[in-house]
Structure 1
Amino acid sequence: MLTEAGHAVHLVTITDKIGYEFSGRLYNLGKYKNATNGVFNKLKRFQHFKRYLYEQEIDVVLDFRMRRNALKEYCIQRYLYPGFKVVFMVRSSHLNYYFPKPDFAAKRLFKEAGICVLTEAMKQSIEQRFGFQKIKVIPNAINVSAYQQDFTSPDDVIRPYILASGRLQKGVKQFDKLIETYAKSELPKLGIDLYILGQGEMLSELQQLAEDLKIADKIIFKGFVKHPEPYVAHALFTVLCSAFEGFPRVILESLACGTPVIAIDCPTGPRELLDGTNGILVPHQDFEALKEAMNRLALDEPTRNRFKAASQKSIRKFDITQVTPQWQSYLNALYDD
C-alpha cells in the first residue's frame, strides 16, 4: 500500500523467515543471527541496523516489534533511534506485548513517543493505562476489488464446512475451545466439517483433542495456506473465538470474500467489523452462545445469503482506497515535523 502510494519502503526483519509476498526493499537482519544469539551477536545486529538506517537516510521508522524488555527498549531508544522519527506500532489489544513492565518504566520510555494503533478501543485502553496522548488510529486495510472474483472450490473439499484461521498457539486463538464447541454443536451431525488453516506448536495437541472427541474425521487441519481465498470463499461461514485481537484480518478477508463471520466480542476488532448485517457477534468467552450461533447460521441459509450480500459493502471504509489517504496524511505530518 505504501509502496504504491509513492513511499520508498524498507522492510527490516529480525528473523530469517519470509512467509508472505511483499513490496519494497528487504533487509534481513535474521541472516546475521547465529545459533547462540549471545550478547555480542545481538550487538553486531544492532550495529548493522543502525548503519543501515543512516546509509539509507530513513525518514520514519515504523517499529512493529514486541517490546517487553524495559532495559532493551531504553538501549534502543537511547543508542539506535536518536535522530530518527519513530512511530511505535501496537497491533494487539494485549498491551503487555508492546509496553514493558512495570508500567512506570513504560510511561517513562514512551511518554513523548508517537504511537499508532488499529482501533479506537486500543487507543482508549492505552490512554487509560498510561496517559499517553500522541496516539493515531489507522485500521488494517484490504483491497476489496481483489476479492471480487469467483474463486474455484478447493479440490480436497467434499462436504460443507466452516472455517477458522490463525497460528496454532496457546492462549490466543483458542482453537481448543473452538473444537470443543464444534463437537457439542449440531454441525458434526449435519455433515458440516471444520477446516482449520494455520500452523503452530499446538497442532499435535489439537489433533489429539479431535481424536478424543471422536470427530477427527470432521476436522481438517490444512496447515499454512499461502493463498487461502478459495477456502474462505466456499466456507459456510468463518469462526473467530480469540481471547484477544487487534484488528483481525481473518474477518476482513472473510467478508471481502463474501463469507459471513461469527466472532466472539474479544478486545478488539470484531465489534468494529461486525455490524449486524454481515455476521454474528457473541459475548466474549461465552462458548454456549457461540455454539448456538453456529447452529443457527448453519441451518439458516436465507440469513447466510443476506450476510453474504452485505459483506463486501460493510467493509468499504477499510478498503485500501480509504485507508491509504489516512497513512498519507499521517506520514506527511511526520515528514514535515
Structure 2
Amino acid sequence: MNKLLMIINSSSGGGAEKVFNSLYGGLKEENELDVYYLYLKGNSTSRFWKFFAVFRYIWTLVKVKPDVVQSHLLFPNMLNVFLCRLFNYKSQIVCHSSFERFEGSKIEVFIKKLYGSAHSVICVSKEMANQAKCFLGKPGCVEAIYNPHDLEKYEALAEKNVQLYFDDYFVVVGRLIKSKRINDIIDVLKKTETKENLLVVGDGEEYHTLLSHVKELGMDSRVKFTGSVDNPYPYIRNAKAMLLASETEGFPNCLVESLALGVPVITSNCKTGPAELLGVSYQETKLKSVYKNCFIYPVGDLEGLEEAIKRFRGLNDNESELKGSVAALNLTDVVKQYSHSIGKLLNNKV
C-alpha cells in the first residue's frame, strides 16, 4: 500500500489545523493509503522549534519512506518541497491563505520558485487557485478543493449543554488577530445600539486590545469573550447570526459551520471564500443580501456592516436552505477529491 505522510506545525490553533485533523481521519478511514502524520512543533515550547522540526521531519522521512507528503501552512509547505527531490517523494502542498500576501514581500521570489517546484498545489478556494496559477505560472499543478466538514458531527456537538452568556446575541468565532477586524464589529454594534449582544469565541494576540476597547466604549455588559473552547457549536447554534469582518481569509470555516447549523451569516467580501460560499462576485462593491438574513459587504465598509445589522430580522425560518448551501462540503465527498488528487500524483499524471 502506498504511504502518505501529512505534516503541519501543530495539532491546534486555527482553521487549517481543524482541516488537517479532519482530512487525516477521513483518509485513514478510506483505507486506500497507509496514512501517517507529523506535528512539526510537537510539544516544544522553544522559540527555536523550527530548527528542531527540520530534524524531526528528516527522521520521520527516513523512518516512514512516504510516497507522497502532504503539507499544510507556509513553513511545512516550504520544508516539504525543499526536501522532496532529495528523499524521492511527491510533494502536495495545501495553501490556506491568499497568494496576494506574497506580492511585493521579501519572500515573493523565493516562494514563487519553491512553491512552483511542488508536484501538486491544493488551494482551498477557486479564487485562491486562480491567484496561484497566475503567481506561480504553472496552472497544471494547481487545483481547488474546498475544506472538508463533518456536518453530522457539528449537529451532534451543537446539542451539548453550555452556559450561554446572553439570550440574544451575534457570535464571532476564530483567532483574535488584527486581520479579523473584530474591532469593526464592536464599533458598529455600539453605534447601532441593536438589542443583540456579541459573543466572541476564540483566543489570540488581540485579546487584551479588544478587551480594553470594549471597556473604553462602556460595552462590558454587551460583549463577552469565552476564550478558546473545544466545542464552539452550541454557541453558534444559539446565536442570531455569525459575524465575520476579516480583511483576508483562506476559506472561513466558521461561515460553513454556521450555515451547516442553519444560522445566518453577515460577512465581509474578503479574499478568499465568502463570495464563493454565498454565490456572489468578489467584485461586488455594495452590501448584498443573500438567502434570508445573510449579508455580504465590502471589507472595511462599516456603513455596509451597520446597514446589514439594522436590516437583520432574526433567524432564517428555512434552515434547510442554509444547510443545503454547504451540503457539498461534507467530509466524505471532500476526502474523495483528495484521494483522487493523490492518486494522480502516484500515477505520475501531475
Aligned to 1:59: 67
Pick one of 308, 318, 322 that aligns with 2:329: 318
The letter of the residue matching 1:141 is P
Structure 1 window deviating more from structure 2 (99-108 vs 315-324): it is 99-108
Q: Distance in 2 between matches of 1:50 and 1:196?
A: 40
- Residue in structure 2 matched with residue 332 of structure 1 by the alignment: 343
Question: Matched residue of 1:217: which SS?
Answer: coil
Report Cα offsets for 1:273-327 as digits up to 9, x if no partner: 1242262111222111111101211xx23xx324634111111121223222211
Which residue in 1 is equivalent to 2:58?
Answer: 50
Name the SS of the counterpart of 2:221 in structure 1. Answer: helix
Q: Which residue of 1 aligns with 2:129?
A: 123
Partner of 2:233: 229
Partner of 2:303: 288
Answer yes or no: is 1:262 the counterpart of 2:269. no
Per the TM alignment, residue 82 of structure 1 is displaced from its structure 2 partner at its CA by 3.9
Structure 1 residues 36, 209: closer, same or farther in 2, change over 3 A?
A: closer
Change in 2 beyond 3 A, CA 1:142/1:99: farther
Paired position in structure 2 for 1:166 = 174
CA displacement at 1:329 relative to structure 2: 0.9
- Map 1:201-212 to 2 at 5 A: 201-212=205-216
Query: Higher mean Cα deviation, 261-270 or 320-329?
Result: 320-329
Amino acid at match of 1:64: H
Q: Assess, with a 3 A threshold, how the Cα gap between structure 1 residues 255 and 14 changes in structure 2: closer, same or farther.
A: closer
Equivalent position amino acid for 2:182 in 1? F
In structure 2, stretches of 5+ residues that fail to align are 29-35, 280-289
Q: How big is the shift at 1:75?
A: 10
- How far apart, in 1, do the equivalents of 2:11 and 2:55 lie? 17
Cα shift at 1:98: 11
Identical positions, percent? 23
Aligned residue pair count: 318
After superposition, the CA RMSD in angstroms is: 3.2
TM-score, normalised with respect to structure 2: 0.80
- For 1:246 and 1:52, locate their aligned partners in 2 and report how far apart those are by CA, in whole Å: 29
2:297, 2:305 within 8 Å by CA — same for their partners in 1? yes
Q: C-alpha displacement at 1:46, in angstroms?
A: 2.1
1:74–1:331 CA distance, 2 compared to 1 (3 A): closer
The answer as to whether partners of 2:202 and 2:228 remain within 8 angstroms in 1 is yes
1:335 Cα deviation after fit? 1.7
Q: Summarize the alignment of residues 1-337 of structure 1 with structure 2, pairs less than 5 Å apart.
A: 10-14=5-9, 22=21, 23=25, 27-31=38-42, 33=44, 35=46, 37=48, 42=51, 44-67=52-75, 73=78, 77=82, 82-96=87-101, 101-113=106-118, 114-133=120-139, 134-148=141-155, 151=159, 154-170=162-178, 172-187=179-194, 190=195, 192-275=196-279, 276-277=290-291, 279-297=294-312, 300-301=313-314, 304-306=315-317, 308-337=319-348
Shift of 1:7: 8.5
Residue 177 (structure 1) shift: 1.5
Give the whole-Å Cα distance in 2 for the aligned partners of 1:198 and 1:7. 38
For structure 1, the 5+ residue unaligned runs are: 1-5
Q: Mark the CA change 1:56 to 1:97 in structure 2 (over 3 Å): closer, same or farther.
A: farther
Distance 1:330 1:262, change over 3 A: same
Counterpart residue identity of residue 210, structure 1: V
> Residue type of the partner of 2:241?
F
> Judging changes above 3 Å, is the alpha-carbon distance between structure 1 residues 98 and 153 closer, same or farther for their aligned structure 2 residues?
farther
TM-score of the superposed pair, with normalisation by structure 1: 0.83
In structure 2, the CA distance between the partners of 1:327 and 1:292, relative to structure 1 (3 Å rule), is same
Q: Deviations over 1:197-240 (max 9, x none)?
A: 01112111111111111111100100111011110001000000
